[in-house]
Structure 1
Amino acid sequence: PVGILNETHEPPTFLGVERNGVEKEIIPSTWWEAGGAYSGRFANGISYDLALHSGLNVPTDGSNAYRIRSGRQKVAEAKAEDLAVTGRIRYTGVPGLELSLSAMRQSDITQGTEDAGATLLEAHAIYQRGPFGLRALYADWDIDSTGAALLGKDSQHGFYLEPSYALNDSWTVFARYSEYNTTAGFPGIEAVEQLDLGVNWKIHEDVVFKADYQDQSGASDDDGFNLGVGYQF
């Protein structure tokens, strides 16, 4: 229960051809674990989730050292010497509004290779009023590890802001600005900055055609035009 896309990630449910970089590199969507969870809800629109589960197993060397996304074990044959706990509180008491705060703690995200405790904090807001939509998200990792600190990866964070407008039931246009930095522990290291402008065309509630233009700057300069088709069943 972390982020916007991780639990609901099929192509018709999000804008743009690719998932945004923040919910790919900082929150490694799609991210699933084995464990147990308890959920509850109060009458005032507040709900909560608490889970104890298997955790990450990030590499400590090579080109993907301390890359969060590379630590996903996807349950099968997952090492679980160091479990993780995740909690979320969410407010949906106002029509069209969702506010959410999540936290995840793991005592060692290297599963015994190094004593590397890590904490993820994430907050997001979703607002929909008529044809206008807005999504905003911030996520931050704090990794207590000498090895990660030497690479500047003891701090990793990112955010994005995504307004959208539904022209009708089929066509939605959007813009998204995002920044994320996987080596934020080194002062002066630039973040990846990306602007996306695009359109979704839903020909069916489960089928969507997508097109967008991306303009990157900062730590990466990967500009491009993307086309895609997605479906769910």
Structure 2
Amino acid sequence: MGSIHLVYASETSPTNLQLLEQLKKQLKTQQTQIDALIKKVEQNENDVKSTDEKIEATVTAIEDNLSMSENSKTSIGGYGELHYNNFDDSKKIDFHRFVIFVGHEFTDSIRLFSEIELEHAFSGDGNPGEVELEQAYIEMDLTDSITMKAGVFLIPVGITNETHEPPTFYGVERNPVEKNIIPATWWEAGAGFNTHFSDGLSADFAIHSGLNVSTNGSDAFLIRRGRQKVANANADSLAYTARIKYTAIPGLEVAASYQIQTDVSQGSLDANADLFSAHIAYSGGSFGIRVLYATWDISGTEAASVGRDSQKGFYVEPSYKINEKFGLFARYNAWDNNAGDTNDTEKKQTNIGLNYWPHANVVFKVDFENQSGAQEGSGFNLGVGYQF
């Protein structure tokens, strides 16, 4: 039995040479696998290195952009407002204004301010809209208390002429007194100075282009129709505006403006015109109030003959802010562009409504309007506005 076993083992066991060949094959296979693994590891290392480089480049770009943004001398802002007006004989929806501000700081004391506005969504022949350059001026600090500006700028008069972004006032539409009497929004070209006498007391003076009113027809001597908007404007007769403003008490603004223009017809007649405006605006806690009065006096028999040698108006607007998001207001407006005649031509308008601010720079508005006096009508207005 033992001899049989020995013979069987010798017949089935591999020789040393065969074992060596098998070992070589295994080592070769393992080496191939090791080489492939090394190659894969090297590829992964390259991929990781490439990814790290991309991440580093992205981070660097973001940091550069943030640095540029923080140190940027150019700023962009703007505002817009959509209105829906529903009255007895008229229902309209209108994207009334879309405005872009661009500013640039050349140095710590020299700055650019500009404003471009699209009114009524679409401009061009036969369309109701307009594209207007309302501001484009250079401002320079001459001293710590005196600033000069030159270019196209808003006239320093009234409450809403210089500050009229939708979240800053109550009501869907801007008040009709400043619109028709002052007339806001009103910009001209020229040069102006602002000085601060003490904390809360300042004064403005400007010399600039003036109005150019029609002297005949239904628009004769209407102040708002006389705006030239610095569009190849007639500058035969310049205008001079001065304002003094007091803001030392928190929440209170008291201001008065006076303007004189030697001829609002720009040479057609000798029609000297004076504008006087005064207002009080107060906001303390929940309660607020705005009161404004404005009047024009135009010399000459031509203006007197159509009752427009005197044009004046006022409004009173109390408001109550329920909380940071909701506010109520009521406004009584009265104005007369024919105050110089003996007829009862005074127009009156009462608005009562609500503002809702879901964000400090976003507002939804609703107000109910009643028109009386030389005009009649009633209805309501809806609006949404923003600023940034």
* Bucket of the pairwise TM-score, normalised by the shorter protein: over 0.9
> Which residue number in structure 2 is paired with residue 30 of structure 1?
185
> Which residue number in structure 2 is paired with residue 122 of structure 1?
277
> Which residue number in structure 2 is paired with residue 158 of structure 1?
313
> Which residue number in structure 2 is paired with residue 180 of structure 1?
335
Q: Percent identity?
A: 57
* Deviation at residue 190 of structure 1 after TM alignment: 3.3
Structure 2 letter corresponding to 1:5 = T
> Which residue number in structure 2 is paired with residue 52 of structure 1?
207
Structure with greater helix percent: 2
Structure 2 letter corresponding to 1:215 = N
1:63-74 alignment, distance < 5 Å: 63-74=218-229
Match of 2:254 among 75, 99, 106: 99
Backbone CA RMSD of aligned residues: 1.0
Structure 2 letter corresponding to 1:36 = A
Instruction: Give the unaligned 5+ runs of structure 1.
Output: none
Which whole-Å CA distance do the structure 2 matches of 1:44 and 1:227 have between them? 40
Q: Runs ≥4 in structure 1, deviation > 4 angstroms?
A: none
* Deviation at residue 206 of structure 1 after TM alignment: 2.3
Taking structure 2 as the reference length, the TM-score comes to 0.59
Taking structure 1 as the reference length, the TM-score comes to 0.97
> Which residue number in structure 1 is paired with residue 301 of structure 2?
146
> Which residue number in structure 2 is paired with residue 213 of structure 1?
368
Match of 2:352 among 197, 205, 222: 197
- Closer/same/farther in 2, CA of residues 44 and 206 from structure 1, 3 Å limit: closer
Match of 1:84 among 236, 239, 242: 239
| Number of residue equivalences | 233
* Deviation at residue 156 of structure 1 after TM alignment: 0.3
Which whole-Å CA distance do the structure 1 matches of 2:361 and 2:267 have between them? 43
Instruction: Give the unaligned 5+ runs of structure 2.
Output: 1-155
> Which residue number in structure 2 is paired with residue 113 of structure 1?
268
Q: Between the two structures, name the one with larger relative contact order (CA 8 Å, sep ≥ 6).
A: 1
> Which residue number in structure 1 is paired with residue 325 of structure 2?
170
* Deviation at residue 169 of structure 1 after TM alignment: 1.1
Any idea what SS the aligned residue of 1:229 has? strand
**Per-residue displacement from partner, 1:26-67 (whole Å, max 9, x unpaired)?**
011110000000000122421000000000011112221111
Any idea what SS the aligned residue of 2:281 has? strand
Structure 2 letter corresponding to 1:111 = Q
Structure 1 letter corresponding to 2:175 = N
Structure 1 letter corresponding to 2:233 = A
Any idea what SS the aligned residue of 2:319 has? strand
